[in-house]
């Protein structure tokens, strides 16, 4: 198992440590495991893109630690995402698990995600990975370092930092240039980068432009 103290560090250091680790979940169909190949770091009070930026709420309380617990949230009204809590106890921070390579029964994995065309697509993206592993609201707050937990985090060999790429986070509208997305170079399971699209508010009138695009 990955030790709690290995995660009780800054979110950037935790991101490097999580790459190459294995996340295993007991699903309704049987155990499914993925090797983590892409993650994103979110710190607390100094990161406006973090769910903990504006303080503690019932929704994000687990982000304040201890490290090693699972933080899940619902996004776009249709998907769940899984995060590993890190930082020292009482300081908010988490790492979003963005993508993984399946290292368990591929036939079972494809049965759970029948729309995946390739093995690399099974857990390519945070929503797909959470769906594959059966992670949702009920798994919020699970201890990933507990061998008896239905979702467990196993330590892999630390990945050399030279083989890790980093760049801006996906779909983040604030602090969007911060290079806190980390992925294993060459992995086909890494999700594509998409910049956030800032949509105007409903009561905001779009500027009128002429046929040359001038306001």
> Bridge partners of 27?
30
Q: What pLDDT does residue 94 have? A: 97
Distance from C-alpha of 198 to C-alpha of 121, rounded to nearest angstrom: 27
Between 11 and 214, the higher pLDDT residue: 11
Q: What pLDDT does residue 197 have? A: 64
Residue 5 preceded by cis peptide, ω within 30 = no
Q: Is residue 191 part of a domain?
A: no
Q: Is residue 201 part of a domain?
A: no
Confidence of residue 124 (pLDDT cuts 50, 70, 90): very high
Q: Is residue 9 scored above 60 in pLDDT?
A: yes
User: Is the full-model pTM beyond 0.75?
Assistant: yes
Distance from C-alpha of 2 to C-alpha of 159, rounded to nearest angstrom: 14
Q: Is residue 194 part of a domain?
A: no
User: What's the number of domains the chain is made of?
Assistant: 1
Q: What pLDDT does residue 11 have? A: 97
Confidence of residue 78 (pLDDT cuts 50, 70, 90): confident
- What pLDDT digit, counting tens, does each position of 21-72 carry? 999 999 999 999 999 999 999 998 889 999 999 889 999 999 999 999 999 9
- What pLDDT digit, counting tens, does each position of 147-182 carry? 999 999 999 888 999 999 999 999 888 898 999 999
Q: Is residue 193 part of a domain?
A: no
Find the CATH number of the domain harbouring 77.
3.10.300.10
Which domain, by its residues, includes 123? 4-184
- What pLDDT digit, counting tens, does each position of 188-208 carry? 999 999 886 655 555 544 443
Q: Is residue 31 part of a domain?
A: yes
Pairing relationship of beta strands 151-154 and 79-85 according to DSSP bridges: unpaired
Q: Is residue 145 part of a domain?
A: yes
- What pLDDT digit, counting tens, does each position of 81-97 carry? 999 999 999 999 999 99
């Amino acid at each position: 198992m990955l030790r709690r103290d290995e995660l009780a560090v800054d979110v950037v250091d935790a991101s490097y440590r999580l790459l190459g680790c294995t996340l295993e979940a007991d699903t309704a169909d049987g155990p499914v495991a993925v090797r983590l190949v892409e993650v994103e770091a979110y710190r607390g009070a100094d990161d406006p893109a973090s769910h903990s930026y504006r303080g503690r709420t019932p929704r994000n309380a687990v982000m304040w630690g201890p490290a090693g617990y699972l933080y899940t949230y619902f996004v776009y009204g249709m998907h769940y995402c899984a995060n590993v809590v890190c930082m020292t106890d009482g300081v908010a921070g988490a790492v979003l698990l963005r993508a993984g390579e399946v290292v368990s029964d591929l036939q079972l994995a494809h049965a759970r995600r029948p729309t995946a065309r390739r093995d690399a697509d099974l857990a390519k993206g945070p929503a797909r990975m959470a769906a594959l592993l059966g992670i949702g609201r009920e798994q919020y707050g699970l201890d990933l370092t507990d061998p008896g937990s239905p979702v467990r985090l196993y330590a892999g060999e630390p990945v050399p930092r030279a083989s890790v790429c980093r760049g801006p986070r996906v779909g983040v509208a604030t602090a969007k240039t911060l290079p806190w997305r980390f992925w294993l170079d060459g992995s086909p399971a890494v999700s594509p980068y998409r910049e956030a699209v800032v949509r105007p508010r409903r009561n905001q009138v779009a500027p009128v432009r002429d046929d040359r695009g001038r306001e």
